[in-house]
A = this chain, B = another copy of it.
Amino acid sequence: MSEWFEIGSEIRVTDPASRGLQYGDGLFETIAIRNGKPRLWRYHVERLTRGCERLGLVAPLATLERELESVLARCELDTAYCIAKIIVYAADTDRGYGREMPSRANVSIGLFPSTPADRQDYRNGVSTMLCETRLATGSPVAGLKSLNRVEQVLARSECLQAGVFEGFTRDADDRLICGTISNMFIVRDSRVCTPSLLRCGVAGTMRQLVINLMDRDGEEVEVRDLDENDLASADEVFITNSQLGALPVRRCGDYTWSVGDGTRHVMALLADYGIEECRS
């Protein structure tokens, strides 16, 4: 079940000729709606703005929050706890890859029901795997949430097949990058690290919030290249996602971890910030 809305005169239902479908020429955001309001709105708009700059798209971002609020006010879903998906894609121009830079973009907003992860998962951690699917490295849209997500489709389908909560993807050079629907953090000797996303991967809003909250408290999250050895020698591993907040990881294939102080500290920071899923 989902509801879709058309906003303003620039927005129309996609047809097969759309550059969004033909080329994935656009971006999206998946936003947690809590008590009728978008959570981490500023973070989502900031990434969308960077994405539009990179792809040369002009979208009505200034009025987007108002449009979303209007959609939330008139939808039939329970907006106390749901997901909003915003898709921004290049408006149709002439056939072929090339277009004017910048060019006008269409926006669609979808709303979906959502259920929180199990409380057990926040206490005991989730089970993960290393995906076989690799992410190509050196992407011109590294860190952004473009509509080009075939790698995530393949990697996420591996997780569904294996029945695990999440899968970690590596790039073509064996670097750990991120989860299929989350970002990953490693704690070792009380230091928190997360993979660099300069070559590929998606820089999540909750990842950025964790980095910012730690930084505010004078605790630096080290952003650097990580590989499987870092996973093997980690004291703790946790993941973040805009819907879930932070979740401990108890297993990845043969590697296992306990839920430790580093993870609990980050969850407490998020809970204090109002990320209700992380409230103990």
**Nearest-Cβ distance from residue A99 to partner chain B, whole angstroms:** 6
Choose, from A35-43, A132-140, A266-274, the stretch at the interface: A132-140
Q: Nearest B residue to A147 by beta-carbon distance?
A: B24
Q: Check A224 for interface membership: any CB of B closer than 8 A.
A: no
Query: Interface segment, A69-77, A122-130, A153-161, A252-260?
Result: A153-161
One of B55, B134, B137 near A154 (C-beta < 8 A): B55
Binds B, one of A14-22, A185-193, A230-238: A14-22
Q: Which one of A133, A136, A161, A172 has the highest number of Cβ atoms from chain B below 10 Å of its Cβ?
A: A136
Residues of A82-138 contacting chain B, CB below 8 A: 85, 87, 89-90, 95-101, 108, 110, 112, 133-138
A62 within 8 A of B: no
A141 within 8 A of B: yes
How far is A249 from B157 in the complex, measured between Cα atoms in Å? 43
Chain B residue nearest to A167 in the complex (CB) = B98
Q: Is residue A217 contacting chain B, with contact meaning CB distance below 8 A?
A: no
Of B2, B21, B96, B160, the contact of A21 (CB 8 Å cutoff): B21
CB neighbours (8 Å) of A160 from chain B are: 98-100
Give 22 A-B contacts (CB < 8 Å), ordered by A residue: A13-B15, A21-B21, A21-B87, A21-B89, A22-B149, A23-B24, A23-B150, A24-B24, A55-B153, A55-B154, A95-B112, A96-B156, A97-B155, A97-B156, A97-B157, A99-B153, A100-B160, A136-B200, A137-B137, A137-B172, A140-B154, A146-B150
